[in-house]
Every structure is written in structure tokens, then in C-alpha cells.
Amino acid sequence: MSKLIPARERLIIALDVPEAEQAKAMVNALGDAGVFYKIGMELLMAPGFFELLEWLRNNDKKVFVDLKFFDIPETVARAVKNLAERGADFCTIHGNQSIMEAAAKAKSGNLKVLAVTALTSLDQGDVADMGFDCNIADLVLSRARRALQAGCDGVVSSGLEVERLRREAPHELICVTPGIRPVENKPDGDQKRVMTPTHAIQSGADYIVVGRPIRDAADPRNAALSIQQEIASALRA
């Protein structure tokens, strides 16, 4: 990979907690082990979501707002525009070409728009149930290509599909990979397509998203530092 992304920023820590004050406490406990944080729907349903975003920015943290915007193009465009003005670094969108194009046109500043391909909680049977007559890898690649055509900056993709994306999609595509589980962690029941940090980075992921393996660790700071070291080693390799 040739993108100039500092190694410490490649770990995005998911603040999957129910309250903003718990999120702040987690960030403070992690200290310099965390640089980039994801806030999503769970925190949106609690008071203080945008105050938390501002607090993270004021503490020199990068922020990934993962709300998977999906609505008529005009509504999505307005949401992206408002979010850009709040200083977010990444946001996620869902939907068809017109929705992705509207989001891409509305972004400004440092905000990067990422299109969701296929959730890591879905397997081939789930995709078939949703009416897609193709395998997951083909679906992810198709959505990635269309996202770039629409002007999006990148995609959210399982690590299982990143290697093919790197071979067949333009290199400027940003790949953010959730469903990351360190070797000692067994996959949780709702995560079906998972990968270790080393394998994800070596496959071509630009960023990895880690939530529960850090949040639920006996020592979250050490867990985050261990993953940071694994990322650095994978990059050197």
C-alpha cells in the first residue's frame, strides 16, 4: 500500500457503548492507544451524540460517523453537508447510484464518504435471501466500482473481499474493514465474515474497525496497543 496513512490512525476503535459519558471514559482510559474513533446508531439514540463528536475533535481525535445514511438523495445530501460542517472525517452511506452521487457532491472539508458494500453479519445465504443472485465477493466488487464512479471516497468491506478489491478496483479506493477479531477472540454470533488484524492489513485494508475485542477486554488499553503493534508489524512485512 502506498497511501500515506500513519500506522496509528489505521485502527478505528468503535465506541459501542450506550451513553456519551461512557464513550468519553473509554477514550480517556485508552489515551494515546486510540487516535480514530467510530460513533454510530447506539450513541445516536442517547443524549449528547454531537457534543461527543465535538469533544472528540477538540481532543485531537479523528471521527468516523457510522450511520449508514439511506433516504432520498436530497435528504442524504443535506445530512452529509451538515455532518461535514461538524468536522467528521468519515461517514457511511447506503443505497443506489443517485444516493451515492448526492452524498459525494454534498461532502466538503475533510469528510470522506464511504459506501457500505455488504455487512459482515451477512453470509452467502443471507445475501440470497435478500434477492441477490450472485456471490458476496462479486456484489462487493460491483458496489465498490459504482461507489467510485459516483464520487465516493471508498467502501466498507469485509477483509475477505479486500484482496480482490485491491486487484480489480482502483487503488485510490479507501477500504475500511470491520469484523476484525484478534486470534485469541472467537467470532461473535452476529459477525460471520471476520479476519485478524494482520491478515486484513496484509490483504490491503487501509483501516480496520475494532469494537468488542477492545471494549470487553480485561485491559482495553493493552488490547488496543497490542492491535496497534500488530498493524505496524503487518505494514513492515
Is-contact 68 77, C-beta < 8 A? Answer: no
User: Mean pLDDT in each 10-residue stretch from start to end of the chain (237 residues)?
Assistant: 83 97 98 97 96 98 96 97 97 93 96 80 52 65 88 89 81 88 57 76 94 96 97 93
Q: Write down the pTM of the prediction.
A: 0.89
For 108-142, b/e burial (b = at least 16 CB within 10 A) is eeebbbbbbbbbbebeeeebeeeebeeebbebbbe
Backbone angles phi, psi at 96, to 5 degrees: -90, -170
Q: Any binding-site annotation on 78?
A: no
Q: Which of 3, 32, 60, 68 is catalytic?
A: 68
At 11 the three-state DSSP class reads strand
Q: Tell me which of 32, 61, 62, 71 is the catalytic residue.
A: 71
68 counts as catalytic? yes
Please report the pLDDT score of residue 164 as a whole number. Answer: 83
C-beta neighbour count of 160 within 10 angstroms: 21
36 is in an annotated binding site: no
Residue type (1 letter), 168: E
Q: Is 211 annotated as a binding residue?
A: yes
- 71 classed as catalytic: yes
- Asked if residue 75 belongs to a known ligand binding site, the reply is yes
| Annotated catalytic residue, options 24, 62, 66, 192 | 66
Q: What are the structural domains of the chain?
A: 7-236 (3.20.20.70)
Confidence at residue 122, expressed as pLDDT on a 0 to 100 scale: 47
In angstroms and rounded to an integer, the radius of gyration of the C-alpha atoms of the chain is 17
d(CA 93, CA 26): 26
